[in-house]
Structure 1
Amino acid sequence: MEATLRHDGWTRTDGIAVRGRAFEDDRFLEGDTLAVRFADARAVDATLEEIASIGADLEGFFAAVLEDSDATYLVADGARSVPLYYGTGGPVSDRGRLVREALEAPTDPITESEFLLTRYVTGPETIWSGVYATRPGEVVRIDDDGIDRRTYRDYWPAGPEDERTNGSANPRTGLESALETALDRLERVAGDRPVVVPLSGGYDSRLLASALVDRGREVIGFTFGRSGHPDVEVSREIAARLGIRWEFCDYDESTWREWYRGPAGRRYVREAFGGDALPFLAEWPAVRELVADGRLPTDALYCPGHTVATPSERLPRFVGECRRSEPSSVGCGPAVDADDALDRELVAPDIEALVDYVLERHYALWEWDDPNFEDAARERIQRGLRGDRDPSAVTGPASAAAASERWEWRGRMATFTNGDLRVYEDAGLEWWLPLWDPVYVRAWERVPLEARRGKGLHAALARERYRRAADVPDERAGLTDRSLSPADRYLALVRHSPVRQFTERGGDWMPPFLAPRSTWSEPGSHPLSWYGVVDDAVLEELPAFRNLYALRTLAATGRLDLEDASEPIPDGPTVRLPTED
């Protein structure tokens, strides 16, 4: 079977292709040494299970393709950081569109409907019938008899009834130790190169930047959007207090139009779309512009703050869950305070209730009414929630939370969110995901539910590291884009980089972006200004406006031309799904 691998980072040797880096105990493997590790397996005619065992021994971000006379094996790391696409009897590629073209595959109505409503596909399928993508921690065997899959690294976080939390180990101590190991690995990968962190107003990138500054590393932060946006101003403050270089790329609608419609934008959108997730767009212009201007180095290691803790941030409150009230717990069971935001979405801790919750929360880019798709979607969601486990595995709040986080990890994070790595590859840059390092994943799995909720323990670690590295009071250490006051938005530029006032804002005192959060869904008030990718005439023809993700899913499937108002345009918020036909 032919393997068509387009990225220039692949190392090929004797029927084996590998890309990325991994650690095995104290050994650091990349290029030829990583290829040799898989060659050892093929030399003894390894089974699918034996190759999966090798994958389980490797910790890092990599992919591998092994070809022999009988079969082709594909290996994905636990984050699926390097996707591979395949089909029965067709080629293997790191570009999903190439597999689709080789098979002349039509679209699949079920997965295309899922993509339209969520912007990603949650299983191994793509929107094209018979074209598949590797999943996190998976080995795939393709031969004349068909396709066989094995998962060697799953994710099922702990909770109060989980035996993994019943020992004497302190979850915070374990998480701190895991972070240090992940940073040790990052430094080994980076060598003497600087580390570039896309710095936001949240805790994830703050944790990375602070911990690396504490280690004496050269760190460069960058941010993008509109000056005055809380994300930008908190990032500006964090960089100033940490004493690191900070670069900013200003966005506006006219430049977005130039970026997106130019040859580089058209090429990126086409090549980054594998049929399983909408290409990540937010930082694509910033990375290209800052690198082209020489403001970000090409010889650095780029480390986004994507983290295993993110799925914990969106957990609902479960019936029967112990409810904590500061400074002490008030017991278990349904809450009586209707104003408590955590208790407004009380969900029964069973599979059916979780399916309802996911369907309502995540399948919502468009309004829809299609019983055919709903039946299929429920089956797909349930499979993503429990994996190979029996439905009875979800028996209480802890296991319900584990199922919910597993779905987010495999359904959204590993497809759409980690897809932003294609942005860095498009600019010819190297990347690493320290907060998705398997050692950090395992440590987070052992954190009890109450300390995971809202990324609690992870956020506490970020605040402490930032407070220590920047020598700031607790109040400023906990500042985020959501808690930044209006006054701070005015004063941020003068406080932290006054010399930039006359270049970034043209000498104006007022920041150009002061829109309240409630208006950000409106095209002219969005903090990224990215509605500039849509022609004004098209926007005017949208009476029930949907967010840009919704419009882009239509564009990706050929249902909407973002640049041509003469083409069909939705006349309302409801979309007719392919399954209705």
Structure 2
Amino acid sequence: MQTSLRHDGWTRTEGIAVRGRAFEGDRVLDGASLVARFADARTADVSLDAVASIAADLEGFFAAVVADADTTYLVADGARSIPLYYGPDGPVSDRGRVVREALEAPTDPIAESEFLLTRYVTGPETIWSGVYATQPGEVVRIDDGGVTRRTYREYWPSGPVDEPGTKAPRARLESALETALDRLERVAGDRPVVVPLSGGYDSRLLASALVERGREVISFTFGRSGHPDVELSREIADRLGIRWEFCDYDESTWREWYRGPDGRRYDREAFGGDALPFLAEWPAVRELVADGRLPTDALYCPGHTVATPSERLPRFVDERERKTDASVGCGPAVDADDDALDRELIAPSLGDLADYVLERHYSLWEWDDEAFERAARERIRCGLCGDRDPDAVADPERAAAAYERWEWRGRMATFTNGDLRVYEDAGLDWWLPLWDPAYVRAWERVPLEARRGKGLHTDLARERYRRAADVPDERAGLTDRTLSAADRHLALIRHSPVRQFTERGGDWEPPFLAPRSAWSEPGSHPLSWYGIVDDAVLEALPAFRNLYALRTLAATGRLDLEDASDPILDGPTLRLPTAGDG
């Protein structure tokens, strides 16, 4: 089968291509050594089981293509950090559009409808019929008999294992974090580590733990000065004693960035047909690197974490709960979720879980389509259970595991981890320490009541930051949601006064003071990213649609963000492709 791999980081030798790094015991494999490891599958009769067995022994972030006679094997790591796209009779590529164009594939109404409503596609399909994507922890075999898929690494949080000598969940999670950091340091070598810093706990945990280890850490944040996410990041960096770079966003520069040749190229190349390209930090990374404010010879470590799906868990009838503070992820929390503890209780059943996922995640547009709803429920059930008996989802623990599995495969491994394409676009090296398999396994063994709201993960982040920054616990627990108005005003003077006349032109008053309730409005959004949409288009569109919704229309050719002369929706309800609007 023809292989068309476009990223220049692939190492190719005699029918095998690999990218990334992996640990096998204490050995670090990359390039030629990683090729050699997959070549071991050829010493015996190469098979799906043989390739899967090798992949299961590797822990890291990698992808592989192994071609043998008339059979091709594709390998994705447990985070699907490097996706591969393929067709049963088409080429293999690291860009979905390459496969689509080779096959001249039409759109798939069901997958395209799902993308329009969520900004990603769950399962192996893409919005293009006959074009597929590898899934996390999966090996795919393609031969004359078709396509066979095998999951070698699952994710199913099941709580603690009560065995003699077993560590408590907190101790196990701390130990796993140290393992993940040990691996990060070996990958980084003598290079600095760059952490995109936000007002949430994930990036704070990474930065604090690395400071405690004596590593050189550089952080950066983006958005509008005065946004609580920016101001808390400024404080965290100052208290940790690490360098902090800030990229100020406004609507005019967004328009220039997105509509320029680099923006158009990134938008096209990063869209594989299964998730909307990550956009939030794309301009910041490019601008800060171009200005020499961020190094090219560094390891970039976003705070994406396996704990995130626990943040959006529904509340279940008869569940034992542990109240925790709401938390946010590694990037500005402009679309962060509400506190799960305020949600209505649901029964721990497959049907109620499917209802919850439909209501919460298939919501970029209002829609009314019975044909798609039936198809979506089936897709959701498959994502919730995998090969497990659906009747087994009958108590809060297993219902929570099913939901977190759905997010792991459906959202995190497609949309969220897709932000790695931002760093690749800038020619930067990256790593995902909080998706390290050691940390994943430890989080799987945390009891449900301590996973909810990322509780135990959050406790660990607060403790590490409190120690590294020598701040009281109350200060260590601040997030962008709890930062006071006074702190927003005083942060620049307290923590980076030298920026007073450069960042704000001498003004003490922060330029962004909009309340959270107004952030969905284009002129009051903390990222200013509605600047990519022409004013006339915005005026003609339903005012309450967020940018993700507009971008899914643009990605599928239903809306030109720069031209109001084309037909534009006149209401909030979207007619889906399954209803005949292909």
Structure 1 and Structure 2 fold alike (TM over 0.5):
yes
State the Cα distance separating 1:166 from its structure 2 match.
Answer: 9.1
Q: Which residue of 1 aligns with 2:331?
A: none
Alpha-carbon distance in 2 for matches of 1:351, 1:167: 35
Provide closer, same or farther for how the CA distance between residues 74 and 574 of structure 1 changes in structure 2, counting only shifts above 3 A: same
Q: Which residue of 1 aligns with 2:303?
A: 305
Q: Which residue of 1 aligns with 2:72?
A: 72
Does structure 2 conserve the Cα–Cα contact (< 8 Å) formed by 1:158 and 1:165? no
Q: Which residue of 2 aligns with 1:270?
A: 268
Q: Which residue of 2 aligns with 1:334?
A: none
Provide closer, same or farther for how the CA distance between residues 60 and 531 of structure 1 changes in structure 2, counting only shifts above 3 A: same
Alpha-carbon distance in 2 for matches of 1:165, 1:223: 44
Please tell me the residue identity of whatever aligns with 2:82.
V
SS of equivalent residue, structure 2 residue 414: coil
Q: Which residue of 2 aligns with 1:35?
A: 35
Q: Deviations over 1:420-440 (max 9, x none)?
A: 000000000000000000000
SS of equivalent residue, structure 2 residue 245: strand
Q: Which residue of 2 aligns with 1:141?
A: 141
SS of equivalent residue, structure 2 residue 247: strand
State the Cα distance separating 1:43 from its structure 2 match.
Answer: 2.7
Provide closer, same or farther for how the CA distance between residues 462 and 16 of structure 1 changes in structure 2, counting only shifts above 3 A: same
Provide closer, same or farther for how the CA distance between residues 341 and 380 of structure 1 changes in structure 2, counting only shifts above 3 A: closer
1:408 aligns with 2:407: yes
Please tell me the residue identity of whatever aligns with 2:385.
R
Q: Which residue of 2 aligns with 1:440?
A: 439
Provide closer, same or farther for how the CA distance between residues 520 and 167 of structure 1 changes in structure 2, counting only shifts above 3 A: farther
Alpha-carbon distance in 1 for matches of 2:59, 2:470: 34
Q: Which residue of 2 aligns with 1:516?
A: 515
1:53 aligns with 2:53: yes
SS of equivalent residue, structure 1 residue 444: helix
Please tell me the residue identity of whatever aligns with 1:74.
L
SS of equivalent residue, structure 1 residue 415: helix
Q: Deviations over 1:549-576 (max 9, x none)?
A: 0000000000000000001111111100
SS of equivalent residue, structure 2 residue 315: coil
Q: Deviations over 1:336-393 (max 9, x none)?
A: xxxx972532010010000000001000000000000000000000000001101022
SS of equivalent residue, structure 2 residue 20: strand
Alpha-carbon distance in 1 for matches of 2:297, 2:376: 44
Q: Which residue of 2 aligns with 1:254?
A: 252
Question: Which one is further off, 99-108 or 45-54?
Answer: 45-54
State the Cα distance separating 1:101 from its structure 2 match.
Answer: 0.4
Alpha-carbon distance in 1 for matches of 2:499, 2:456: 36
Please tell me the residue identity of whatever aligns with 1:267.
R
Alpha-carbon distance in 2 for matches of 1:153, 1:344: 32
Identity of aligned residues (%): 84
Alpha-carbon distance in 2 for matches of 1:69, 1:436: 34
SS of equivalent residue, structure 1 residue 264: helix
Please tell me the residue identity of whatever aligns with 1:204.
D
Q: Deviations over 1:94-137 (max 9, x none)?
A: 00000000000000000000000000000100000000000000
Please tell me the residue identity of whatever aligns with 1:191.
G
Does structure 1 conserve the Cα–Cα contact (< 8 Å) formed by 2:12 and 2:18? yes
Alpha-carbon distance in 2 for matches of 1:290, 1:164: 49
Q: Which residue of 2 aligns with 1:206?
A: 204
Q: Which residue of 2 aligns with 1:295?
A: 293
State the Cα distance separating 1:44 from its structure 2 match.
Answer: 1.6
Provide closer, same or farther for how the CA distance between residues 165 and 296 of structure 1 changes in structure 2, counting only shifts above 3 A: farther
Does structure 2 conserve the Cα–Cα contact (< 8 Å) formed by 1:11 and 1:19? yes
Once the two structures are superposed, the pairs formed by residues 125-140 of structure 1 within 5 Å of their partners are: 125-140=125-140
Q: Which residue of 2 aligns with 1:121?
A: 121
Alpha-carbon distance in 1 for matches of 2:543, 2:243: 43
Does structure 1 conserve the Cα–Cα contact (< 8 Å) formed by 2:340 and 2:453? no
Q: Deviations over 1:478-513 (max 9, x none)?
A: 111011000100000000011101000010010000
Once the two structures are superposed, the pairs formed by residues 185-196 of structure 1 within 5 Å of their partners are: 185-196=183-194
Provide closer, same or farther for how the CA distance between residues 379 and 251 of structure 1 changes in structure 2, counting only shifts above 3 A: same
Provide closer, same or farther for how the CA distance between residues 512 and 166 of structure 1 changes in structure 2, counting only shifts above 3 A: farther
Does structure 2 conserve the Cα–Cα contact (< 8 Å) formed by 1:224 and 1:286? yes
State the Cα distance separating 1:45 from its structure 2 match.
Answer: 2.2
State the Cα distance separating 1:163 from its structure 2 match.
Answer: 4.6
Alpha-carbon distance in 2 for matches of 1:163, 1:216: 34
Provide closer, same or farther for how the CA distance between residues 164 and 2 of structure 1 changes in structure 2, counting only shifts above 3 A: farther
Alpha-carbon distance in 2 for matches of 1:165, 1:436: 25
Once the two structures are superposed, the pairs formed by residues 400-549 of structure 1 within 5 Å of their partners are: 400-549=399-548
Does structure 1 conserve the Cα–Cα contact (< 8 Å) formed by 2:312 and 2:340? no
Alpha-carbon distance in 2 for matches of 1:398, 1:100: 40
Q: Which residue of 2 aligns with 1:577?
A: 576
Q: Which residue of 1 aligns with 2:181?
A: 183
State the Cα distance separating 1:39 from its structure 2 match.
Answer: 0.2
Q: Deviations over 1:501-553 (max 9, x none)?
A: 10000100100000000000000000000000000010111144300000000
SS of equivalent residue, structure 1 residue 65: strand
Q: Which residue of 1 aligns with 2:328?
A: none
Does structure 2 conserve the Cα–Cα contact (< 8 Å) formed by 1:165 and 1:448? no
Does structure 1 conserve the Cα–Cα contact (< 8 Å) formed by 2:384 and 2:405? yes
Alpha-carbon distance in 2 for matches of 1:393, 1:55: 29
What is the RMSD computed on CA atoms of the aligned residues? 1.2
Please tell me the residue identity of whatever aligns with 1:370.
D
Please tell me the residue identity of whatever aligns with 2:31.
G
Alpha-carbon distance in 2 for matches of 1:212, 1:543: 45
Provide closer, same or farther for how the CA distance between residues 168 and 34 of structure 1 changes in structure 2, counting only shifts above 3 A: closer
State the Cα distance separating 1:291 from its structure 2 match.
Answer: 0.1
Count of aligned positions: 566
Q: Which residue of 2 aligns with 1:155?
A: 155
Please tell me the residue identity of whatever aligns with 1:157.
P
Q: Please, which runs of 5 or more residues in structure 2 have no aligned partner?
A: 325-338
Q: Which residue of 2 aligns with 1:333?
A: none
Alpha-carbon distance in 2 for matches of 1:230, 1:163: 40
SS of equivalent residue, structure 2 residue 255: helix
Alpha-carbon distance in 2 for matches of 1:426, 1:168: 43
Alpha-carbon distance in 2 for matches of 1:56, 1:502: 54
Provide closer, same or farther for how the CA distance between residues 280 and 325 of structure 1 changes in structure 2, counting only shifts above 3 A: closer
Please tell me the residue identity of whatever aligns with 2:125.
E
Does structure 1 conserve the Cα–Cα contact (< 8 Å) formed by 2:64 and 2:74? yes
Does structure 2 conserve the Cα–Cα contact (< 8 Å) formed by 1:303 and 1:433? yes
Normalised by the length of structure 2, the TM-score is 0.96
State the Cα distance separating 1:42 from its structure 2 match.
Answer: 1.9
Q: Which residue of 1 aligns with 2:231?
A: 233
1:217 aligns with 2:215: yes
Alpha-carbon distance in 2 for matches of 1:496, 1:424: 28
State the Cα distance separating 1:220 from its structure 2 match.
Answer: 0.1
SS of equivalent residue, structure 1 residue 149: strand
Does structure 2 conserve the Cα–Cα contact (< 8 Å) formed by 1:544 and 1:573? no
Alpha-carbon distance in 2 for matches of 1:242, 1:158: 35
Please tell me the residue identity of whatever aligns with 2:212.
D
Q: Which residue of 1 aligns with 2:327?
A: none
SS of equivalent residue, structure 2 residue 346: coil
SS of equivalent residue, structure 1 residue 414: helix
Alpha-carbon distance in 1 for matches of 2:164, 2:357: 30
Question: Which one is further off, 41-50 or 446-455?
Answer: 41-50
Q: Which residue of 1 aligns with 2:87?
A: 87
Alpha-carbon distance in 2 for matches of 1:181, 1:392: 36
Please tell me the residue identity of whatever aligns with 1:212.
L
Provide closer, same or farther for how the CA distance between residues 165 and 121 of structure 1 changes in structure 2, counting only shifts above 3 A: farther
Once the two structures are superposed, the pairs formed by residues 550-569 of structure 1 within 5 Å of their partners are: 550-569=549-568
SS of equivalent residue, structure 2 residue 73: strand
Alpha-carbon distance in 2 for matches of 1:39, 1:493: 55
Please tell me the residue identity of whatever aligns with 1:310.
T
State the Cα distance separating 1:70 from its structure 2 match.
Answer: 2.1
Q: Deviations over 1:258-315 (max 9, x none)?
A: 0000000000000000000000000000000000000000000000000000000111
